[in-house]
């Protein structure tokens, strides 16, 4: 039973437009959420995170939104650039320690020049 | 370069073989992790070592045997694997167990034939 779901395996967006990646979760005990980015032949790298006490966190072109009532978070990338083409993983945690992280299956984002 | 190095990058082994995966970090991190990524599945945590002590074994079959001889090196010993064990095996490290910005290695793509 997947507690963190990324229902869109892939997404294509025109360069310069907004990319919106979605993530849903089922465990109401999750209190910290993260996004990781993975290029082919490389490991995932941390991108941005948000605590459950917030509903938005921004870092440059990347913004994560959290809707606790809907158990939904999203990552917005604007404007999208070709270098953003990668697989994006959503992860959630329900306590102290990285062993508490639960990952989604990932969404492959392709930015079309 | 994330500072976490995994070797080999690719490995093909028979079901009766014994092989080892190696992970190395010289970031001064105290925690190291093994993850498994199978096709269309989320990243699954396998093992966690904190200050060279195993703190998590996520119900991993005994045909996978981790070893952490020092805080910079982590091994995953493999024996009598099954074809369904074919996956990408990722190593990660972090300063402490709660450091979410934890770098991953590029992974070992394992194929069991």
Among candidate residues B76, B94, B66, the one with its CA nearest the CA of residue A97: B94
Cα separation of B40 and B23, whole Å? 24
Name every chain B residue with its beta carbon within 8 A of the beta carbon of A106.
42
pLDDT tens string, chain A, 113 residues long: the values are 789 999 999 999 999 999 999 999 999 999 999 999 999 888 899 999 999 999 999 999 999 999 999 999 999 999 999 999 999 999 999 887 887 889 999 999 999 99
List phi, psi (to 5°) of B49: -120, 130
Nearest residue, CB atoms, B43 vs list A32, A41, A89: A89
Nearest to A27 by CA among A89, A75, A93: A93
Q: Residue B40, Cα to own-chain centre: how many angstroms?
A: 19
B106–A42 C-beta distance less than 8 A: yes
Phi-psi region of A60 (alpha: psi -120 to 50; beta: other; left: phi over 0): left
CB atoms within 10 A of CB B1: 7
Contact B97 A96 (CB under 8 A): yes
Alpha-carbon distances, residue A47 vs A39, A106, B100 (angstroms): 12, 14, 10
Tell whether A103 lies on the interface with B, counting CB pairs under 8 A. yes
Predicted confidence (pLDDT) per residue in B58-91, tens digit = 889 999 999 999 989 999 999 999 999 999 999 9
Say yes or no for a CB contact (<8 Å) between A41 and B103.
no
**Chain A residues whose beta carbon lies within 8 Å of the beta carbon of residue B43:** 44, 89, 91, 103
Residues in chain A with CB shorter than 8 Å from the CB of B102 are 46, 98
Query: Residue A107: beta bridge partners?
Result: A88
Alpha carbons within 13 A on the beta-carbon side of B70: 5
| Chain B CB contacts of A102 below 8 Å | 42
Which whole-number Å values give the CA distances from A25 to A2, A10, B35, B65, in the listed order? Answer: 8, 18, 21, 32
DSSP at B82: -
What pLDDT score was predicted for residue B1? 75
| pLDDT at residue B57 tops 90 | no
| Any A CB within 8 A of B99 CB | yes
């Amino acid at each position: 039973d997947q507690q963190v779901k990324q229902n869109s395996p892939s997404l294509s967006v025109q360069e310069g437009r907004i990319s919106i990646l979605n993530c849903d979760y089922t465990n109401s005990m999750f209190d910290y959420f993260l996004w990781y980015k993975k290029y082919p032949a490389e490991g995932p790298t941390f991108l941005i995170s948000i605590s459950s006490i917030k509903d938005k966190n921004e870092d440059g072109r990347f913004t994560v939104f959290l809707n606790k009532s809907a158990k939904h978070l999203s990552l917005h990338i604007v404007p999208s650039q070709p270098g953003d083409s990668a697989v994006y993983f959503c992860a959630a945690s329900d306590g102290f320690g990285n062993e508490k992280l639960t990952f989604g299956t990932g969404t492959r984002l392709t930015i079309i020049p | 370069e994330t500072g976490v190095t995994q070797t080999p990058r690719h490995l093909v082994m028979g079901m009766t073989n014994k092989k080892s995966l190696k992970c190395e970090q010289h970031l001064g991190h105290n925690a190291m992790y093994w993850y498994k990524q199978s096709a269309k599945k989320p990243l699954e945590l396998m093992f966690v070592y904190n200050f060279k002590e195993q703190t998590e074994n996520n119900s991993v079959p005994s045909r996978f045997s981790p070893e952490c001889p020092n805080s910079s090196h982590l091994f995953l010993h493999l024996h009598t694997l099954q074809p369904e064990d074919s996956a990408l095996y990722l190593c990660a490290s972090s300063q402490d167990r709660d450091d979410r910005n934890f770098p991953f290695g590029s992974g070992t793509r394992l194929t069991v034939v």
